[in-house]
Amino acid sequence: MDMSRRQGDELREVVRVVLLVQGAILVATTIEALIWSIAFAGAAGPSFVMSATMAATLLVARARLRVDRRWSRRLVYIVEGLLMGTLAIDTALAVAITGAVPPPVAVLTRFVLPLSVIALLRRAVRVSAARNSADPVAALEAPA
């Protein structure tokens, strides 16, 4: 067991894995939107741009994710909020047009994953802050 790791590092690694999964899902969504925008000119273009932007943002934020970097955490929070917002819009449109809710996989990937990323990231920040404030001398001596 590696005892030289910080306490919040494990949570951060879990967040990175979940962000990688989300990024992969968004890349697949981007490819799908590109195919549909080629096949049917019109409204599919903005969805391609939005999913490509969200995928790139998540993957960049994942690569540079540290609990002490506020801007990367804020980017993740913004993208997660956008994912949940688009789920709300898609659900409302699906219920209004077809009378059925989206499939469970869509709910899992666009609601549960963002909520878990937000919860894990906030917990990693709290653990890191608690560790730093509990013993500032040990925090300075801990390996980076």
User: What is the token pair recorded at 5?
Assistant: 């790791």
Q: E-assigned strands of the chain?
A: none
Closest CA to 54 of 20, 85, 27: 27
Residue 3 lies in a domain: no
Residue 143 lies in a domain: no
Residue 93 lies in a domain: yes
Residue 4 lies in a domain: no
Which one-letter amino acid corresponds to residue 82?
A: L
CB 34 within 8 A of CB 49: no
Residue 141 lies in a domain: no
Residue 3 pLDDT grade (very low, low, confident, very high; cuts 50, 70, 90): low
The mean of the pLDDT values for the chain is 80
pLDDT in tens, 101-138: 888 888 888 888 899 989 988 888 887 777 666 555 55
Residue 142 lies in a domain: no
pLDDT in tens, 47-70: 788 888 888 888 888 887 776 678
Residue 56 lies in a domain: yes
Structural domain that includes position 22 = 9-133
Query: How many domains does the chain fold into?
Result: 1
Residue 24 lies in a domain: yes
Q: What confidence score (pLDDT) does residue 96 get?
A: 93
